[in-house]
Amino acid sequence: MPSRRRTLREIEIKLRIGDLAALLSRLRRMGARPGGRVFESNTLYDTPDSDFRSLGRLLRLRVEIPAPSRSIGPGAKRAMITAKAPVPGSSSSAYKEKMEREAAIRFPGRWRRIFGRIGLVPGFRYEKFRTSFLLPGLHLDLDETPAGAFLEMEGAPRAIDRAAKALGYTPRQYLQGTYWDLYAEDCRSRGRPRRNMLFRG
């Protein structure tokens, strides 16, 4: 059986990163503690009629493989199933808010077969290198993706605002979109068809 985590209210934003080296330098000066770097392979599952997406829900299978860089050590190898659902009344917020529940799993291939047997199909696939950092009251994830680099900040709104300001960002630069949204925007800007956000293909 998977190891479950209780349902949490996730509050986060994304920031688009132009200068990766400058961002890492600022994070070090702020005292952010790195938690390791991994390569992520993500697959969203849905019904054939995309019922989850139409309701603003998400079911994701994620596999993480250690991927150290010159300056950041490796993260842990693991696989996770994540379910997300909308938070009533949060549409006017400056932050992305979702109800989230996760479970650590041991055999991703087995869960792919289980999803298939209950009628779910794989949809959007996306890859990224993720480096995690911790600040007091705040969790940060630096994501290097085929559509650019982004910093996810998760925590209380005041902690998000304080850290974003220290990094040189204003609330007008907060992004609430999913990686599908950011990838679709990147494809439009480049005149490319939308498929999957993969480093190859």
pLDDT tier for residue 83 given thresholds of 50, 70 and 90:
very high
| Predicted pLDDT of residue 88 | 80
pLDDT confidence of residue 91: 64
192 CB burial (10 A radius; 0-12, 13-18, 19+): exposed
Query: Is pLDDT at 6 greater than 90 in this prediction?
Result: no
Residues listed for the chain: 201
Half-sphere exposure of 113 (CA within 13 A, CB side): 4
The per-residue pLDDT for 112 is: 97
Mean pLDDT within 44-70: 96
Q: Which of helix, strand or coil describes residue 154? A: strand
Q: Which residue has the higher pLDDT, 127 or 93?
A: 127
Confidence of residue 7 (pLDDT cuts 50, 70, 90): confident
Domains and CATH numbers, the chain: 3-190 (2.40.320.10)
User: Is residue 1 predicted with pLDDT exceeding 70?
Assistant: no
Q: How far apart are CA 68 and CA 83, in angstroms?
A: 28
pLDDT digit string, tens, across residues 110-162: 999 999 999 999 999 999 999 999 999 999 999 999 999 999 999 999 999 99
pLDDT of residue 32: 95
- Tokens found for residue 157: 């709104």
- Hunting for tokens 């599952």 — which residue is that? 45
